[in-house]
Amino acid sequence: MTTDILAQAREQVLEQGIGLTQEQTLAVLQLPDESIPDILALAHEVRMRWCGPEVEVEGIVSLKTGGCPEDCHFCSQSGLFSSPVRSVWLDIPTLVDAALQTAASGASEFCIVAAVRGPDDRLMKQLREGVKAIKAAVDINVAASLGILTPQQVEDLVDMGIHRYNHNLETSRSFFPKVVTTHTWEERMVTLELVRDSGMEVCCGGIVGLGESDEQRAEFAAQLASLSPHEVPLNFLNPRPGTPFADVPLMEANEALKTIGAFRLALPKTILRFAGGREITLGDLGTREGLLGGINAVIVGNYLTTLGRPVTSDLDLLSELKMPVKALSDSL
Ligand code: SF4
């Protein structure tokens, strides 16, 4: 079985650049743990062949933290749970300072995030001023993640010069109602289609280890692939106190590694980004294994509500692995 599906993947994904189907992704996810080195080695070859050795580095900053009206059960920024994250707004000088620090770390991407269902006029105005100030101060690509958008807001973001928009599907369509009840998977998809049609790059991923089955994980990979996103951020659940998923057990490291490899084989040409939860799920060793198993982008520094690894330890690891940081000029 191992040889069957991995031999098929070698021919189809590595040689032809055609991602695994849902059924094939499931077959990889269900391989025994002994196959993990082979899965990761193939995923790494695929990443090197179709994306190259460069690693895209991104910093994120939260323009508005906490107090979100939605109920995504993994998220400590929801105002509906007893999570210890309070609602905070960032001012423009702090935003510019964060962009400067991100650029100084060598990152080419700076993503401005807000914990909202979708932006209101106040947020759009603040974003416009913030992006203008950042662009005047530093050379860096500015991305945004502001939830569900109207067609007019999509146009406004294009006008501001936002080059990539993040909106995660979070999980498979079939599992979504167990994770979020205040909006639907389909509503998220409508925003993603608007973004894709606008010409902005689509960044769409999600979070694994929520209690979804292998079948649902494979379904999720296929649904992401159908969007042809430019980037897929992959988060691993880091159960936050006070959220409905506080007691969900951590994903096993082996399962996380298999997921990384399988997602790379389903999405051979996409930027696959290590996002939140990798430290707690995989530790330092896992970060290395992920980068040698299909991952080609990282978020440096802190995440929105949890601490990440120090920037320098990520950059040191990339230099040790001889993976160059993608330069800004390459990504424009
Ligand atoms: S994931 Fe986003 S939309 Fe969901 S509760 Fe958190 S901040 Fe709100």
Would you say the CB of residue 200 lies under 6 angstroms from ligand 1? no
Per-residue pLDDT at 290: 87
Name 252's Cβ contacts closer than 8 Å, sequence gap at least 6.
none
> Which ligand 1 atom lies nearest to the CA of residue 147?
3
CA distance 120 to 225: 30
DSSP-derived secondary structure for 104-129: HTT-SEEEEEE-SSS--HHHHHHHHH
Mutate to test the pocket of ligand 1, among 64, 73, 75 (most ligand atoms within 8 A of CB): 75
pLDDT per position in the chain (332 positions), as tens? 555 999 999 999 999 999 999 999 999 999 999 999 999 999 999 999 999 999 988 888 888 888 889 999 999 888 888 765 666 677 888 889 888 888 888 888 899 999 999 999 999 999 999 999 999 999 999 999 999 999 999 999 999 999 999 999 999 999 999 999 999 999 999 999 999 999 999 999 999 999 999 999 999 999 999 999 999 999 999 999 999 999 999 999 999 999 999 999 999 999 999 887 777 788 766 778 888 999 999 887 654 444 455 566 777 888 888 888 887 654 43
**Residues in the chain, total:** 332
Please, are residues 50 and 299 in contact by the beta-carbon 8 Å criterion? Answer: no
Would you say the CB of residue 75 lies under 6 angstroms from ligand 1? yes
Q: Is 238 exposed, middle or buried (0-12, 13-18, 19+ CB in 10 A)?
A: buried
Angle, in degrees to the nearest 10, between helices 278-291 and 311-320: 20
pTM for this one? 0.91
> Which ligand 1 atom lies nearest to the CA of residue 115?
7
Identify the CA nearest to 317 among candidates 308, 328, 305, 304. 308
CB atoms within 10 A of CB 320: 9
Would you say the CB of residue 63 lies under 6 angstroms from ligand 1? no
Mutate to test the pocket of ligand 1, among 64, 74, 77 (most ligand atoms within 8 A of CB): 77
Per-residue pLDDT at 88: 67
CA distance 101 to 37: 36
Supply the residue whose CA is at minimum distance from atom 2 of ligand 1: 115
Per-residue pLDDT at 84: 59
Per-residue pLDDT at 331: 44
Per-residue pLDDT at 203: 96
